Structure 1
Amino acid sequence: MAQKSNILINTYEQGPDKEQAVHKLSNSLAGELPTRNHDTEDLLKQHYQNIHHIEDCEKDTKTTWAKQIVIPIAYAPCVTPLDQLNQISLSDLKVETHHRGSFITATTITLPYNFSSTVTIIQEVSTVTAVLVLGFQDDTISPLPQNSTVAIKEPYVQLNENSDYVIRVDHPSDIAVLRGDDPAVSMIMQFVAEKKDIKPVEWRSEGDRAFLEGKYSSAIECYTQAIDASLPLEETIFTQDAYRKRAFANLLAHRYQAAKVDSLSACSGTALDAKAYFTAGRACYSLRSYSESKSYLEKSLELEPTDIKARKELNRILIRLDEQENGNYDFAQMIREQESKIWLDHADFTANVEVGMTEKSGRGLFTTKDIAAGEILMSEKAFCLPDKYTGDGPSDTVLFNLNNNSRTPKAAQPALFRKLVQELYHNPQLCKDFFDLDGGEYVRNGKEGDIIDGVPIVDAFLVECIRLKNCFSAPRLSRNLLKRDCPEVETHLTTATWLRASYTNHSCVPNCGRAFIGDMMIVRALHALPKGTEITHQYIAPDASTLFRRKGFPTNWGFECACRLCSGERESPDTIHTKRTDLAKKIKKEALKMAPTSKIPIANIRTVERMMRKLEDLHERSVYANLPRLTLVHPSIWLMEVYRFSKNYTKMVRYAIEVLKNFGFGDNIVDIDNNNFSMKWEGGIVNTEAFNSLVIAAEGYDMLGKSVLAEGCRAAAKRMFLVLAGSEVGIERFLPA
């Protein structure tokens, strides 16, 4: 029995209904000073009560507690450097105001807690206190240790039912934190606040200390001060050493572009350059600039030919270059890797596609050469993928977006949102490509990704708009979904973003198919594609009801589907569409009375068959001669399974072929007289159900002694498997000879 899921809240989490009500009240008081009923002691008491409440709930193993993340009404991030803003006091803050052109500083006086948001109490020198709420922070770290100094740019004040008001920060670039648990903080504070003269060697020593304690951001700051304070005579030795150390600190802090620049700045024309080139090569590898990485590793090996680590790195780069340039992947190794980790070490292969303009759908992806059926169009590593694979059970996180009144119950989607914000903030080099994606009608400021005060401008609300339009649901291994009795855990999905794949437009009858192995997406052609062909895939599996699809695509993605199926079905009157949908529901209701794997009276089977023939008659030949008939698919599958269970192989094969016909693979798939099996791939929909129908048809033809037709089915199934699984690895388990 599934555990009950309760919403866990604390006094700073109001929920979507209260959030909307409080926002309405805030707007009515916009520009006014908030009434402060709570003093510091009250705030501290409430804060630690929340901590204890959350701890108690986490100890309750009988209940699944769901976090509720509320995305408030959107507002723009600050794009002004701190030194161009005017400092104000906490006592100057006004309700529902973003205080443009201003900033505040304060100190955190409590331990924070991370739940749906990160919450702490801040106090300025005047002893005025306030609640600080950081939205959408990383759950795995504590970004605001006690006694940290914070500078908040253009602070946004929001009413709160229990604390009168909170200062809310939704954009990570709007706050700077000098961590209170950092070994170099005291020195930095002395330098900034007390104007103390600190020698370069002291800065370097403190940087070494911070580095050893894993405080890489602090180490980088100390090494920077050491470099800036060094004298010209020291530059040839001291400064280059500081550059080398800062390069490695940047590398471990995942600041790869900075690590590369520092490594090259450390070069002096001596043997020590081998380490600098090695670090530059590793940084470029992490930036996925494999050719550049290769050049630096080769330079490192020229200086130190016996360096085993450098040789190993170079060999790894050569494998990535072969993947990137030729699309040569060891899929068996890739599948083995995903068993222990989902973030795989492989290069993208995108040489067969390019971004271009379509006639009506904006940008799209087009083939750069003639592509054969089954050939790889592209293989791409996820830009961002959370390790959250879930089914349809209770979720541990619910995301509410007040900007579109949406509710997202799948845990992977809020996890992806938060991870995207953090990835972009910590890796500025990623911002350009991500923010180039479609964000709908969201109004941009034009400075997304610009570096201000040393960090990129990350608009969290724009990130969510882009996520909504450019994310994919993905299993850990697509091959598993082809199992007839697939364990539920293997069907669980996460949600992730792939940049190049995001430019692919939708079609209900696409010309390519995608498969997933860990965080790698493999896209293959379903049939031959001439150079310059726009590639299309399904955003979601098309619903059988064209009227439902007609409403769904504008609502979810902002477009009307004009694929050959949707365009063709517009030739049929809505009244006929409604009749087909209603009859399909009646057939489903009748079939659900009896599982196809049970002994079913022949009279009940005949009833379903008669209803199916009526449904067939409702499909006009003039409209559906060359189109899939999706309302007929599931009745065909049910009858195929019923006759398979009863070992009526003739009927089993008949309905297996009906499934393929209804998916659009042509009316003349089997030529009994000439013992020939052929499918019209250009009009068909390739999916798990079609694959299983081919497997069952092959099984039936074998039992009927028609080996040539059985081999034809198997050949078609192999072609589908390649697309649906991404490779042929393991096909023998799904399609025995």
Structure 2
Amino acid sequence: MAVAVADLKGKVPPRRLPKEELARTHKAHLKKQDLTPDAPRPVKQPIMEEAYPASTRPIRDLDIISLGELRVETHHRGQGIIVKVISPPYIGAGVVSIVEDEFGNADKLAVYNQGDSSILSGVPEGCIVAVKEPYYKHNGAENDYMICVDHPSDVILLRFTDPIIPEPLRLGPLLKSAEDWRTAGDKAFIERDFPTAVFCYTEALEAADEKDKAFRAPICAKRAGTNLILCRYDTAKADALASRTGGLSDWKAYYSAGRAAYGLCDYATSKVHLEEALKINPDGSGVRREYERCLARLREEEHGKYDFAAMLDAVSPQSVHMDNGSFLRATRVAESKHHGRGLFTTRALKAGDIVFVEKATLMPNQYEPARASAALYAMMVRQLCDNPSLAQTVMQLYPGQLPYDQDRHQEQPHIVDGVQVVDVFAVEGIRTKNCFSAPLSTLEDTKPSSPEGRMAKGLWAHASYMNHSCVPNTMRSFIGDMLISRATRDIAEGEEIFQQYVPVRALVDLRNAQFREGWGFECGCALCGGERRSSSAMLEKRKEALQAVEKACNKKQAVKAGKGGVTGIGIVPDATIRQVDKLMRQLEDLHEPDVYGDLMPRLTLIYPSNWLVEAHRGRKNHVKVIKYALKVLRNFGFNVPRGDDVATTTMWEPGQIFTTSPTALMTIHVVAALRRLAGAYDALDQREMAERCAVAAKFGYTMVTGFENDLNALDQ
């Protein structure tokens, strides 16, 4: 009779599949596996409810046990296993191999989250690996179990001569000399098997005489170049500097070190190394070219001056990673009274000013929503493994509530057994709490012709420190992997800056339910704080009134909603317009003066006021267009005149709304409302007011898209 898995938890299974059966089943899987080299590799994303911490102990500090001692559904804390891989790898979401210990016991080993730069992404047959604090789980079928390694740092590829390897598993070195390993590395490099090349060069260095610099320096240079290809920039930089001999050829070492630092966006260090290369080789055109690129990035970091139009021309679905630096000098990270840490200005900023521009810390070129999250997770894990300096930045971010040791992720990341410790559950928490959705460019995304839903996921570490407000003082936009943050109102020196995590919902209870579920907080902004003063009865009345007015608007939809406001014109019957207008006035009366005052946004009124703008525009009633466009702006919280008397609406300055509205909410719909005002004023021969509104709309469009653009793009 089969034993229930629940009854086996914590126990050694009474029976495991024998080695012969494991090998036979594995061989059948190997025949079916897709060996298409260009096929996207599936990703196993963590299930947070099953989270467990990565091992932080060296393998030599653990008690080594046999496969026969593994207990079902158990994380073997304080213990480890050392096994030999006795099968070719089956490669899917992870790498599954058959392994054997020193006593002849066999089992399945599944290794996940290894990057393409790691030889463990396809564990070669014959290798010896150590698994630290292994997790042994039931694999579904009767008597079928598997060692599951989620954290990439929990499995270590051992050198063949490592004394920790038990005698029965020892093969001795596969090659006899450092020269043989070097030759093997060269062969693997020519075959573009870069992880194997790195492994062979490492073995060559381990086998070589430590004092033989003439032999070791070229090997370090080769390994540096290979690691550059693999984007392992920290190791590449260290190898490049280790390849110096004190001779004229050292320019190559400094050149490689400069390129590695550039890959880490450490342009100051890159400049230092490239300058050393130029001292030795002043005529090197490649070095000079890299040096000029580095200087351009440093100027961007210092002054925040960018050629945004050129960046837009350069971005494409095939080229989303911009060659630009990050301008962060106008902001700093500090403790916030709202939620832990936040971003604060280091100088006063005017409405429309650049607050910061940041190159993505990590962003895959994946714009399919169904795949973008998994692609970002996979990139984060693999890049953090490959570049410990990057892990120091990313692992300081907030991961949400983990079911273990809440502060572990914020400790300085450390290297154990030569490997950067990366906790995949903390990484996934950081991804979900800190990533942004980004179009290829915000400018293109505002156009009605832009395809819906084409968003990548990226991590911008500096921007991640910004706290949320439903009425923020900044607005973000994107060009490729560059995030542009602009001030939507004047911001004082030392003031905290805020952003919207997501577009806010009209009703306070619904939007805060979203914040609680997604980020674990209740918003304390001026709008939410004010609306919480409304009674539950009043909140319910507004909800019912909003449903009624939306129903009336949707009953006879005259226009099609677009990204840049409302586009398309239709003729709406007078009776429908009167009904919507009446319902909207009823909804207006449900906004208490002591809560909303003159300037607090009234989000429930935005949809019907926008609807009435387009309805009257379709009937060429320009006076009413002005009236309701002003209501749109007022409902977003902007300081504008009442629109009941056209004569009074020509006595104001539209451009000043961005400096006289402390709690306004800036969106693309504000730009659209200003454009509608410009059109209506122009139709009424109020040309000066039309021009003022057009200028204000263009200014607002700069905030939305990140840089100055032609408003006609909204019509494309």
With the length of structure 2 as denominator, give the TM-score of the two structures.
0.88
What whole-Å deviation, never above 9, does each CA across 1:57-101 have from its counterpart, x for those lacking one? x9xxxxxx9998562611111112223333322222111222222
SS of 1:436's partner is coil
Aligned to 2:610: 637
Alignment match of 1:470 (pick from 434, 455, 472): 434
Distance 2:388 2:681 in 1: 58
Measure how far apart 1:196 and its partner are.
7.8
Q: 1:628 to 1:698 in 2, by over 3 A?
A: same
Within the candidate set 432, 436, 439, 2:392 is matched to 432
Contact kept in structure 2, 1:327 and 1:379, CA below 8 Å: yes
Count of aligned pairs = 677
Query: Is the contact made by 2:45 and 2:377 (CA closer than 8 Å) also made in structure 1?
Result: no
* Paired position in structure 2 for 1:628: 601
How far, CA to CA, are the matches of 2:688 and 2:202 in structure 1?
A: 73
Matched, 1:659 2:659: no
Matched with 2:567 is none
Within the alignment, does 1:488 sit opposite 2:451 as a pair?
yes
CA contact (8 A) 2:115 2:382 kept: yes
**Alignment-derived partner of residue 321 in structure 1:** 298
1:218 to 1:691, Cα distance in 2 relative to 1, 3 A? same
How far off is 1:599 after superposition?
A: 3.5
| Deviation digits for residues 428-455 of structure 1 (CA, Å, limit 9, x no counterpart) | 1111111111123322446663111111
Q: Which of 632, 644, 647 in structure 2 is aligned with 1:672? A: 647
**Alignment map for 1:543-622 (pairs within 5 Å):** 543-597=505-559, 598-622=570-594
3-state SS of the aligned residue for 1:437?
Answer: coil
Contact 2:102–2:168 (8 Å) recurs in 1: no
1:117-156 alignment, distance < 5 Å:
117-124=94-101, 127-137=104-114, 143-145=121-123, 147=125, 149=127, 150-156=129-135
1:103 has 2:81 as partner: yes
Match in the other structure for 1:369: 347
Q: Does 1:244 align with 2:207?
A: no
Q: Which sits farther off after the overlay, 681-690 or 626-635?
A: 681-690
State the Cα deviation string for residues 138-157 of structure 1 (Å, max 9, x = none): 59998125525233222101
TM-superposed deviation, 1:127: 5.0
Deviation sequence 1:584-609 (CA, Å, 0-9, x none): 11211221122223433221221111
- Cα deviation code 1:294-329 (max 9, x no counterpart): 222222122222211111111111111111111111
Q: Per the alignment, in what secondary structure is the counterpart of residue 524 of structure 1?
A: strand
Residue in structure 1 matched with residue 486 of structure 2 by the alignment: 524
For the Cα contact (< 8 Å) 2:87–2:125, is it kept in 1? yes
Partner amino acid for 2:130? A
**CA separation of 1:730/1:86 partners in 2, compared to 1, >3 Å: closer, same or farther?**
farther
Which residue among 209, 214, 220 is the counterpart of 2:198? 220
SS of the residue 2:363 aligns to: coil
User: 1:404 is matched with which residue?
Assistant: none
Indicate whether 1:350 and 2:322 are aligned. no
Distance 1:438 1:26, change over 3 A: farther
**SS of residue matched to 1:631:** helix
Supply the AA of the counterpart residue of 2:591: H
> C-alpha distance in 1, partners of 2:25/2:630?
67
* Residue matched to 1:267: 244
Provide the rounded CA distance (Å) in 2 between the counterparts of 1:140 and 1:80. 24
Q: Residue 162 of structure 1 is aligned with which of 119, 141, 144?
A: 141
**What secondary structure sits across from 1:356 in the alignment?**
strand
Deviation at 1:654, TM superposition (A): 2.0
Once the two structures are TM-superposed, the CA of residue 545 in structure 1 deviates from its matched residue by 0.5
Q: Give unpaired runs (5+ residues) of structure 2.
A: 161-166, 560-569
- CA deviation profile, 1:465-492 (whole Å, cap 9, x unmatched): 2122111122111112322x23324x42
Partner in structure 1 of residue 564 of structure 2 = none
Equivalence for 2:704: 724
Name 2:311's counterpart in structure 1.
334
Match of 1:450 in 2: 414
Cα deviation digits, residues 191-241 of structure 1 (max 9, x gap): 973268833333333332333333334433443444444446632x22322
Q: 2:12 aligns with which of 20, 28, 33?
A: 33
Structure 2 letter corresponding to 1:102:
G
Aligned partners of 1:297 and 1:314 also within 8 Å: yes
Cα drift, residue 632 of structure 1: 0.4
Letter in 2 for 1:530: A
Shift, 1:266, TM fit: 2.4
| Cα distance in 2, alignment partners of residues 586 and 40 from structure 1 | 69
C-alpha distance 655-139 of structure 1, shift in aligned 2 (>3 A):
farther
Distance 1:265 1:146, change over 3 A: closer
Structure 1 length-normalised TM:
0.85
| Contact 1:144/1:179 (<8 A) preserved | no
Letter of the structure 2 residue corresponding to residue 668 of structure 1:
P
The 5 Å alignment of 1:270-289 reads 270-289=247-266
Judged with a 3 Å threshold, the aligned counterparts in structure 2 of structure 1 residues 373 and 169 are, in CA distance, closer, same or farther, namely same
CA distance in 2, matches of 1:445, 1:30: 27
Worse-superposed segment, 503-512 or 594-603: 594-603
- How far apart in 1 are the matches of 2:446 and 2:625? 19
Give me the whole-angstrom Cα distance separating, in 1, the residues matched to 2:42 and 2:545.
40
How far apart are the structure 1 equivalents of 2:199 and 2:375? 30
User: Which residue identity is paired with 2:608?
Assistant: P
State whether residues 59 and 417 of structure 2, in contact with CA within 8 Å, keep that contact through their aligned partners in structure 1. Answer: yes
Q: 1:169 to 1:448 in 2, by over 3 A?
A: farther
- Structure 1 residue 253: Cα displacement: 2.7
Match of 1:422 among 358, 362, 382: 382
Q: Which moved more, 1:138-147 or 1:103-112?
A: 138-147
Q: 1:367-403: per-residue Cα shift (whole Å, max 9, x none)?
A: 0011122111111111121223236xxx4xxxxxxxx
After superposition, the Cα gap between the structure-2 partners of 1:378 and 1:222, relative to the gap in structure 1 and judged at 3 Å, is: same
Amino acid at match of 1:644: R
- Kept after mapping to 1: 8 A contact 2:44/2:113: no
State the alpha-carbon separation in 2 of the partners of residues 600 and 349 from structure 1: 49
| Residue of structure 1 in register with 2:471 after alignment | 509
- SS of the residue corresponding to residue 464 of structure 1 reads helix
Residues 625-634 or 378-387, more deviating: 378-387
Identity score, percent: 36
CA contact (8 A) 1:596 1:639 kept: no
> Aligned AA for 1:74?
A
Quote the RMSD (CA, aligned, Å): 3.1
**Superposed CA offset, 1:159-191 (max 9, x none):** 2221532211110001134799xxxxxxxx999
Shift of 1:49: 6.2
Q: Does 2:677 match 1:701?
A: no
| C-alpha separation in 1, matches of 2:168 and 2:695 | 74
* Greater mean alpha carbon deviation, residues 554-563 or residues 470-479: 554-563
Aligned partners of 2:674 and 2:247: how far apart in 1? 66
Residue 549 of structure 1: how far off its partner (Å) = 2.5
The answer as to whether partners of 1:714 and 1:735 remain within 8 angstroms in 2 is: no
Partner of 2:75, secondary structure, is: coil
Q: 1:67 to 1:75 in 2, by over 3 A?
A: closer
Whole-Å separation in 2 of the counterparts to 1:46 and 1:695: 67
Give, in angstroms, the shift of residue 53 of structure 1: 7.5
- Report if aligned partners of 1:271, 1:303 keep a CA contact under 8 Å in 2: yes
Q: Which residue does the alignment assign to 2:179?
A: 201
CA distance in 2: counterparts of 1:206 and 1:319, whole angstroms: 40
